[in-house]
Amino acid sequence: MSFCFQAIRCILEFQGGRATVKFCVLASGSSGNAALVATEKTRILVDAGLSMKELGKRMEAIGENLHDVDAIVATHEHSDHVSGLPVLARNRHMRAVIYMTRLTAPAIDWGEIPPQRLESFQAGAGFAIGDIEVQSFSIPHDAIDPVGFTFAAQGVRIGIATDLGYIPESVKYHLRRVDLLLLEANHDLDMLKVGPYPWSVKQRVMSRVGHLSNMVMSDYLMQDLDGCTANVILGHISEQNNHPEIVRVIAAQTLEARCSAARLTIAEQRTPSEVFQY
């Protein structure tokens, strides 16, 4: 589907007025990550791994304005998740408060001027942003203090868990009873082993603080996906060590095998997803 056609569709859906809780993956992959969680009153950007200009374009494509974002919550300090943050923090037209763990904030190069709109929290803490309840939880990844999030508003729960080497019981607990789940499906093990990465990088990716393989993703969908989850979005797919169609086939077969009615979507690097509405 072309970017222009999808943009028009997203605008129509976002302006339709049928829903009060909305979610869109603006970008997902090793070149940049960002997502939007929104209600009629509150807009939260999850990560800002694209330039401010590109984030603005993606927001416009779904009928939104980047300057209307109330908060930006960061999962961890890796550049594909926060590369746009310093510019956003300095921009005088941005009103968004930036939320990140107290250990993550010092790891980011903010430039000469530290951010004025920064709120730190302890990993595992919950807090409210407008009418959205945010719950953070620690994830196993090779960052200083990485977290995933759930967002709850008006009876709808959204879970985000990407950039993690495996799925511990604590993460599974937080992802229960979510209506929508954004989960990592980073690499195909066979493709990774024969791919172009140096062996040291391959070991990192496969480690328990690396990234989720298709196999681990499939095991989670089969054994642990909550029955109430209506939408599963798979993202952070490696361009070198995986392929969206491999991910789609494996996940679809897994959901069919467990008789799940969850709708499957593959998040992309270069175009926003559809706008999910509740």
- DSSP letter for 65, please: -
- Whether the CB-CB separation of 2 and 268 falls below 8 Å is answered with no
Q: Give the global pTM.
A: 0.92
- DSSP letter for 96, please: P
Output the tens digit of pLDDT for each of the chain's 278 residues: 444 434 444 444 444 445 699 999 999 999 999 999 999 999 999 999 999 999 999 999 999 999 999 999 999 999 999 999 999 999 999 999 999 999 999 999 999 888 999 999 999 999 999 999 999 999 999 999 999 999 999 999 999 999 999 999 999 999 999 999 999 999 999 999 999 999 999 999 999 999 999 999 999 999 999 999 999 999 999 999 999 999 999 999 999 999 999 999 999 999 999 999 99
For residue 162, give the amino acid letter: T
Fold of the domain built from segment(s) 3-277: Metallo-beta-lactamase; Chain A (3.60.15)
Nearest-10 Cα torsion for 90, 96, 97, 100: -90
Structure tokens at 83: 């590369």
Q: What is the pLDDT of residue 112?
A: 86
CA 91 → CA 71, 96, 123, distances in Å? 14, 10, 27
DSSP assignment of 174-243, as one string?
HTTT-SEEEEE--B-HHHHHHSSS-HHHHHHHHSTTS--BHHHHHHHHHHT--TT--EEEEE---TTT--
At 69-119, the pLDDT tens digits run 999 999 999 999 999 999 999 999 999 999 999 999 999 999 988 899 999
- Locate the domains of the chain by residue range: 3-277
Distance CA 167, CA 156 (A): 23
- Whether the CB-CB separation of 229 and 262 falls below 8 Å is answered with yes
